[in-house]
Structure 1
Amino acid sequence: MSTEQTVRLTVGQALVRFLAHQWSERDGERRQLFAGCFGIFGHGNVAGIGQGLLQAHREAVDAGYDGAEHGPDELPYLLARNEQGMVHAAVSYARTMDRLQVFACTASIGPGSTNMLTGAALATVDRIPVLLLPSDTFATRIPDPVLQQLEGPGTPDVTVNDAFRPVSRYFDRIVRPEQLLSSAPAAMRVLTDPAETGAVTLCLPQDVQAEAFDWPVEFFRDRVWHVARPVPEPAALARAVELIRSAKRPLVVAGGGAVYSQASEALRAFASATGIPVADTQAGKGAINWDHPCAVGGVGATGADSANALAAAADVVIGIGTRWTDFTTASHTAFRNRDVRFVNINVAAFDAAKHAGEMVVADAREALVALNTALDGWGTTQEYRDEVAALVGDWQRVTDECYHRGHGPLPAQTEVFGALNELMSDDDILINAAGSMPGDLQALWRARTPTQYHLEYGFSCMGYEIPAAMGAKMAAPESEVVAIVGDGTYQMLPQELTTIVSEGLKVIVVLLQNHGFASIGALSESRGSERFGTRYRMRNPATGQLDGDLVPLDLVRNAESFGAQVLVAQGMDGFRAAFKEAVAADRTTVVYIETDLVGPNPPASGWWDVPVSGVSTLASTQRARAEYERDRTPQRHYL
């Protein structure tokens, strides 16, 4: 191959240049696929990918580009503080961008790379694209064993990075430069596939990263990846329409796919035309505005009474972009009509086939438009619509009570949520992930837009919220991004506050201090384990247990030490004033408030299967086992 057709670069330099020239397109809108690269450098990537990022930047500066405008071969670089945190930030960014733009994440060999495993699992479970570039051991094996290398006596080709295989949608180890020519485009295909996306992992041995190679110039041309909107197959659509027309008590369950496909307008039109009530999952909340006449709230284990009452009696359930997790189905107890049938609209055939449903493998927006046309003139009865309205009205009164209970001496966390729901605008973004908060929020939050409610509940990963706030803010700089965290979650991953500050971003973190794990404490109590090990207490010399005084942890000073402004709120009036001050501020602010560890929480109408010990000497466990046997009676496969 002549020199005019090739360029000599290292693998690290070539990968940076290749990524900078990838684009995504949907509905005629084209954007760069990669917004940048998060990284923490160590041996393994500092002289490979790190050098490639630096060289691309220097070449851009030499060509006349400044910091506000990146060169065509350059990837913006962000220094994170925790490898798991940077993957969470990348996932949040991609989710906020409806999966049309992503980040790469690079980490050093050994623990730096394996720290990304939790983030990879979250991305793949939640079907959110992120590119992971973990450094790996020497391909030549000359210096084996290198620092932080896993040695196996049975095979020399396994490294710690093989742990990424089961949590990645695409995995490869690049042991020769030429492999990148086929593997890099294959990775892009998965990142831009709405059905198959998730974590994509390219392991990069540290010697290969620095190896020079003559690359075809064609490898670095702009490449546009067109994100498909598959339309329903006519026969599948006809079967779905026939089943829906037979329904007396239909119910729609809107999942994350309804949001990522930007199907909100089509969903509202479909609901208005047919009168079919619409419930939502954690990922689907906001797909239909809460005050639409057909919106009935969250469904499942942590759902609203209104949605769960309709689910229990529904004869046809139309899932739109949902993968039917155990929380959505209340561990297969939510849909209790023995004759219930399912219609599953999903870009992934794997999900469309669940519950023996009528499969409509299609983009949510395109399927809703087609269904609306095919069902023209058909609708639910006025009697059913009146029942839906009455149930929703009853639940809205419950919500108002939870939002304004006046609980004391410490407020319930539902009061904090109520204040936020009233103070945040339609374009602001609420972020949460784990503990008792997602349950309260799914039941109570009144989402007005598909972007306002950002709950990571597929993996329910404590520590997601603060780095996710960074990712969401980068994707939506004009929005107020509010991360709600408990003291347990905060202690797991607060480091990215420093990254947020160093990048000059402004987010609001609402930190609820209740000195324990509220969700697991309540679950422990209800399952007969008496909140064992769920409070933050000192070891008591008299009992030998963690039931002494409160742990003297100062979260206020801790947050300040990361560079954030901290406002301490006393009671709900103080919280409202502090939150308004945080909105007016031009810097990242933590609003700290103490809340009651034991609630009260919203009334529950759903169930979640958490088995209780089958035999015990504890009376509390014996009672819980009897309740468990009773409550799982309706559980069944939806066949």
Structure 2
Amino acid sequence: MTVAQAVVKFLANQFTVDRIGTEDYRERLIPGMFGIFGHGNVAGVGQALKQYQVADPALMPYYPGRNEQAQVHQSVGYARHTRRRAAFAVSTSIGPGATNLLTGAALATTNRLPVLLLPSDAFATRAADPVLQQLERPDAYDVTVNDAFRPVSRFFDRVSRPEQLYSALYNGLRVLTDPAETGAVTISLPQDVQAEALDVPVEFLAEREWRIRRPEPEEEDIRRAAAAIRTAQRPLIIAGGGVHYAFAVEELARFAELTGIPVANTQAGVGVLPWDHALSLGAVGSTGTTAANALAAQADLIIGIGTRYEDFTTASRTAFQNPNVRFINVNVAALDAYKLGAAVPIVADARKALVKLNQALSGYRVGAELDREVAAEKKRWNSTVDEAFDVRNSPLPSQNEIIGAVNRAMDVRDVVVCAAGSLPGDLHKMWRVRDPFGYHVEYAYSCMGYEIPGGLGVKRAVLTETARGAADRNVVVLVGDGSYLMMHTELVTAVAERIKLIVVLIQNHGYASIGALSESLGSQRFGTQYRALDTEHHTFDDGERLPVDLAANAESLGVKVIRIVPGKEMVADLEAGIKSAKAAPEEGGPILIHIESDPLLDAPSSESWWDVPVAQTSELESTRSAFKTYTEHKARQRPHL
């Protein structure tokens, strides 16, 4: 068989196995393959997929996408919803087809989510040299554009000879299934090698199981952590995505309820506790709740579980103001366990560590004073959100009102998907979630354009769940006009496959998030509005609004569109539109709901900060004033290791 045929058949026979408590799991590791074909892969991977489609359609299902980057986003959305137990492969041609994957690869690796990338490459034999779309470098002739994948992949290899295929795939899948190492796995396949014949050993094509490693904590680490917790007066848990990936939400709830320690969450950790749980403080950090940030400021012990402590979580290292604060970090990756100079790093699976901590802390509980403070801060923040969600419609609704309407219209098991702009921060602090799978916001890379393809990936995972007998979920994408314009092409994929993806498109005529940030930094929303060029002053800030009709754009792609007409009933009409979309048949294809908003109405303050430098000297008074505020915040930064 050819190298490409061997790749496809090998991937079809790989399985993930896992055990959570007494529950065993075994499913296909690579449930399907995305691909866009060009001269680099049409006779290689493309031929192999077609051959197996004819012989055995279930062997490796193929899905055509409309953009290579978007195909990676689909795979990432699928991988996150399946808790990193499965990932799609993506095949591309050489040149631009390959480099279109780079942003997706960086997103996957930054989010620690698995995806298998199979970009084609120039001729290994150099028989045709330089081939169309080949990069030539006079100083390094063995370098191709695919070498750009090295810094954004967790694993990279190039199969320059057919015999190298075995070690490339084995080692690539080893990284793909490792919770501490996973991310983008890139295996570069020269176009001539893909089509070469190879005598493949039978054992290479046999079924193989990849067990997800869930390491136990060291007993001494648990003992030291328990001792530190028992002596703390104001402990706080910060729960991240690692809690979800370890299937540790029930054990976390048990830990919090046993000890009385309140829980704040990162973006990836939303849903670890229901929003109205007595010990759930909600989001922490720059886009956090005032409740979580008030407790974080005074905490003398932070227990980080499955978090990588990015700058939004730590409010650029201003969140923790107690001079005696210490950190206990539980993480499957040593890189994260040792962050912030952890007093006790626990390199272990989050669930297994929590089980041990619950045993070690039997009989311990925080004081009643902390209980009262948690309740008071939660009440204050909940009232703030209630007010933000209150319907005013004057003359256009705020993004807060829109988020509130969408939240009310969705059921407990439904999933909201978002990624970039002002929406993720507003969702982080205000979205009220009760289901661990109900919130999917890509914020490690915060990639504009992720929303629709990522949401489609989530929906594919939901359809797989439903096929196994699980109750259905609706997937609702929230996206601004800026992100929509960056990558809406996978709506065509949803139309082709008749997949019901619900998209709420918020039209605010620009980049609301960066506009607000720009204004706060003294740059007066420069370059953040969609307006016509004023040629006299060469500015895009003061011209007429562009006559862009994004609802008509979606309709032209075959999407059913619900337009929310400006007026007094916009928010009520939005709720009705979402309920109508949810009631539509699953095979009816995607539905987009278009609504305009007022971009100048901000979300409630988190009473926190994010470090974005301001020009130290400027002729603009607005910038000079912003720099004065910046230096005041900067003085509160803590030199955590």
TM-score range, shorter chain: over 0.9
CA displacement 1:282-302 (0-9 Å, x = unmatched): 000001111111100100001
CA displacement 1:323-379 (0-9 Å, x = unmatched): 000000000000111110000000000100001111111111111111111000001
The aligned counterpart of 2:47 is: 51
CA displacement 1:540-581 (0-9 Å, x = unmatched): 234321121111111011011111100011311111111111
The aligned counterpart of 1:548 is: 543
| Native 8 Å contact 2:285 2:314 kept in 1 | yes
Does residue 29 of the first structure (1) align with residue 25 of the second (2)?
yes
* Residue identity matched to 1:620: S
* Residue identity matched to 2:390: H
| Structure 2 CA distance for aligned equivalents of residues 420 and 373 of structure 1 | 41
The aligned counterpart of 2:584 is: 585
TM-fit CA distance, 1:604: 2.8
| Structure 1 CA distance for aligned equivalents of residues 373 and 572 of structure 2 | 37
| Structure 1 CA distance for aligned equivalents of residues 603 and 485 of structure 2 | 23
Work out which of the residue numbers 334, 345, 351 in structure 2 matches 1:365: 351
Does residue 558 of the first structure (1) align with residue 553 of the second (2)?
yes
The aligned counterpart of 1:530 is: 524
Does residue 180 of the first structure (1) align with residue 171 of the second (2)?
no
CA displacement 1:246-286 (0-9 Å, x = unmatched): 11000000000001111111011111110000000000000
| Native 8 Å contact 2:239 2:263 kept in 1 | yes
* Residue identity matched to 1:556: A
| Native 8 Å contact 2:391 2:571 kept in 1 | no
The aligned counterpart of 1:145 is: 130
Does residue 443 of the first structure (1) align with residue 422 of the second (2)?
no
Does residue 339 of the first structure (1) align with residue 324 of the second (2)?
yes
* Residue identity matched to 2:544: D
| Structure 1 CA distance for aligned equivalents of residues 116 and 556 of structure 2 | 31
TM-fit CA distance, 1:600: 2.8
Work out which of the residue numbers 88, 93, 101 in structure 2 matches 1:116: 101
The aligned counterpart of 1:6 is: none
| Structure 1 CA distance for aligned equivalents of residues 175 and 600 of structure 2 | 44
Work out which of the residue numbers 78, 87, 94 in structure 1 matches 2:63: 78
Mean CA deviation greater in 564-573 or 166-175? 564-573
Counterparts of 1:180-259 in structure 2 under 5 Å? 180-259=165-244
Mean CA deviation greater in 116-125 or 290-299? 290-299
Counterparts of 1:272-311 in structure 2 under 5 Å? 272-311=257-296
| Native 8 Å contact 2:137 2:143 kept in 1 | yes
TM-fit CA distance, 1:182: 1.1
The aligned counterpart of 2:575 is: 576
TM-fit CA distance, 1:36: 0.2
Mean CA deviation greater in 202-211 or 498-507? 498-507
* Residue identity matched to 1:593: I
TM-score by length of 2: 0.96
SS at match of 1:458: coil
The aligned counterpart of 1:619 is: 621
TM-score by length of 1: 0.96
| Structure 1 CA distance for aligned equivalents of residues 474 and 301 of structure 2 | 39
SS at match of 2:31: strand
CA displacement 1:521-547 (0-9 Å, x = unmatched): 000000000001000000123432112
Work out which of the residue numbers 367, 370, 373 in structure 2 matches 1:381: 367
| Structure 1 CA distance for aligned equivalents of residues 36 and 250 of structure 2 | 41
Work out which of the residue numbers 353, 356, 367 in structure 1 matches 2:338: 353
Counterparts of 1:442-461 in structure 2 under 5 Å? 442-461=428-447
SS at match of 1:131: strand
TM-fit CA distance, 1:397: 0.5
TM-fit CA distance, 1:405: 4.3
TM-fit CA distance, 1:136: 0.1
Identity among equivalent pairs (%): 55
Stretches of structure 1 that go unaligned for 5 or more consecutive residues are 1-8, 61-66
| Structure 2 CA distance for aligned equivalents of residues 84 and 213 of structure 1 | 31
TM-fit CA distance, 1:312: 0.1
* Residue identity matched to 1:25: V
Does residue 267 of the first structure (1) align with residue 252 of the second (2)?
yes
Does residue 484 of the first structure (1) align with residue 478 of the second (2)?
yes
TM-fit CA distance, 1:108: 0.7
The aligned counterpart of 2:466 is: none
* Residue identity matched to 2:494: I
Work out which of the residue numbers 411, 418, 424 in structure 2 matches 1:432: 418
TM-fit CA distance, 1:424: 1.0
TM-fit CA distance, 1:129: 0.1
| Structure 2 CA distance for aligned equivalents of residues 197 and 550 of structure 1 | 44
Does residue 413 of the first structure (1) align with residue 399 of the second (2)?
yes
| Structure 2 CA distance for aligned equivalents of residues 447 and 605 of structure 1 | 22
Stretches of structure 2 that go unaligned for 5 or more consecutive residues are 464-471
| Structure 2 CA distance for aligned equivalents of residues 564 and 334 of structure 1 | 44
| Structure 2 CA distance for aligned equivalents of residues 511 and 26 of structure 1 | 38
CA displacement 1:584-610 (0-9 Å, x = unmatched): 222310000000011231123110000
| Structure 2 CA distance for aligned equivalents of residues 414 and 22 of structure 1 | 45
| Structure 2 CA distance for aligned equivalents of residues 317 and 600 of structure 1 | 30
* Residue identity matched to 2:48: G
| Structure 1 CA distance for aligned equivalents of residues 94 and 245 of structure 2 | 34
CA displacement 1:140-194 (0-9 Å, x = unmatched): 0111101010000011110000000000000000001111111111111111100
How many residues of Structure 1 are paired with residues of Structure 2 in the alignment?
620
- Structure 1 407/308 Cα, relative in aligned 2: closer, same or farther at 3 Å? farther
TM-fit CA distance, 1:637: 1.9
The aligned counterpart of 1:506 is: 500
| Structure 2 CA distance for aligned equivalents of residues 42 and 190 of structure 1 | 28
TM-fit CA distance, 1:407: 4.3
CA displacement 1:487-518 (0-9 Å, x = unmatched): 00000000000001111210100000010111
The aligned counterpart of 2:469 is: none
| Native 8 Å contact 2:408 2:575 kept in 1 | no
SS at match of 1:178: helix
| Native 8 Å contact 2:15 2:29 kept in 1 | yes
The aligned counterpart of 2:637 is: 635
| Structure 2 CA distance for aligned equivalents of residues 229 and 424 of structure 1 | 34
| Native 8 Å contact 2:36 2:68 kept in 1 | yes
| Structure 2 CA distance for aligned equivalents of residues 422 and 26 of structure 1 | 35
SS at match of 1:476: helix
* Residue identity matched to 2:627: R
| Structure 2 CA distance for aligned equivalents of residues 314 and 420 of structure 1 | 34
| Structure 1 CA distance for aligned equivalents of residues 260 and 278 of structure 2 | 8
| Native 8 Å contact 2:237 2:262 kept in 1 | yes
| Native 8 Å contact 2:503 2:592 kept in 1 | yes
* Residue identity matched to 2:459: K
Work out which of the residue numbers 608, 611, 614 in structure 2 matches 1:609: 611
The aligned counterpart of 1:41 is: 37
The aligned counterpart of 1:567 is: 562
* Residue identity matched to 1:562: L
